[in-house]
Amino acid sequence: MSQAGGVTRVMAGLRPSGDLHLGNYLGALRNMVELQERYACFFEIADWHMLTTGYEDTAGLRRAVEDMLLAWLGAGIDPERAVVFVQSDVPEHAELALLLGMVTPLSWLERVPTYKEQLRELAGREIATYGFLGYPVLQTADILAYRAEGVPVGRDQLPHLEIAREIARRFNHLYGPVFPEPQAMLTESPVVPGTDGRKMSKSYGNTLPLDAPTEEIRGRIRTMVTDPRKVRRHDPGHPEVCPVFALHQALADAGAVAEIEAGCRSGELGCVDCKARLTGEVEAVLEPMRERRSRVREADVRDILAAGAGQARAEARETLEETREAMRLWRS
């Protein structure tokens, strides 16, 4: 991850989509665990953001919030080191988003690349809503509420962070220096293939779930697609086209990856043995997660989120008061 100079506070938020998998861990959670050791971190379970595209069905939303917290705790996120909270538990975000929306030109929102992309991808669903268009403003409020100078993002998310920087800059120009301009902390997230070779995704049903038992993980890896040209065990393989090898690259050290690649290319390492090695690598990641999750009680979930919401609200309320003062809003 590239470092951003002058960063002391970091904000990261993830939607509670449920059924987190190895791709989520490698793409975000592993990095969040590292960040909490070096910065003051605010980690948000972004349930309001789920409503921008999934407002029609919220039946499983509360369960998804709980599952996400359990996954975070299992991955090693520590509520003693980072402020962990649910977005809707901090209503100050909504007021700050309202105020920031007053100074955000409509054209800025319409030009965000993901806006039109998702309208096309989700054609047939009614998502052309005020909330969906205003998503970047709410996301900006999430960041600025905690005066975060750094935001961990992948390259595909840079346009969203850039609009947050523009909104902060415009507000400061109009009312005085209230907000820092958040900097990108680029994360080089690997493209994690699923069991069918496509990107690992819940929607494809090709995942290695973080909460799955060992036998299920072993069974899913056993059925993974491999190099279609390696028909027999001793046929030379082409690891660059094999999803199993891509997972080795994400999980194993450089020496092990080189050994696996050489064995595959020479035909000495068969696919069954290669998958068995991968199962061991995946289990080395998941078993500590299972153990940490097993220690969390239902009451702990409520206590952790309540404590985090209290800390987050105190921070956000202070920011909101300064924002209101800068805008010269009425005070009784």
pLDDT at res. 165: 97
- In which residue are the tokens 């999750």 written? 293
CA dist list (Å): 17 to 63, 78, 161, 200: 10, 21, 21, 14
pLDDT at res. 191: 79
CA dist list (Å): 294 to 30, 131, 286, 299, 305: 19, 37, 12, 13, 18
pTM: 0.91
What is d(CA 41, CA 24) in angstroms, rounded to the nearest whole number?
19
Measured in degrees and rounded to the nearest 5, phi and psi for residue 304 equal -65, -45
In CATH, which superfamily holds the domain spanning 9-191+298-326? HUPs (3.40.50.620)
pLDDT at res. 5: 64
Query: What is the average pLDDT across 177-198?
Result: 90
Task: Kindly state the tokens that stand for 319.
Answer: 């920011």
What is d(CA 228, CA 214) in angstroms, rounded to the nearest whole number?
27
pLDDT at res. 181: 97
- Start and end residues for every CATH 1.10.240.10 domain found in the chain: 212-292
- Over its C-alpha atoms, the chain yields an Rg (Å, rounded) of 22
Q: Does domain 212-292 have CATH number 3.30.830.10?
A: no
pLDDT over 60 (residue 116): yes
pLDDT range class, residue 4, cuts 50, 70, 90: low
pLDDT at res. 2: 46
- Beta strands 183-186 and 150-153 are parallel
Q: Are 86 and 93 in contact, with CB atoms under 8 Å apart? A: no
pLDDT tens figures, 74-94: 999 999 999 999 999 999 999
- In which residue are the tokens 């990261």 written? 12
Share of the chain above pLDDT 90, in %: 81
pLDDT over 50 (residue 121): yes
pLDDT tens figures, 138-172: 999 999 999 999 999 888 788 889 999 999 999 99
- Start and end residues for every CATH 3.40.50.620 domain found in the chain: 9-191+298-326
Q: Are 281 and 252 in contact, with CB atoms under 8 Å apart? A: yes
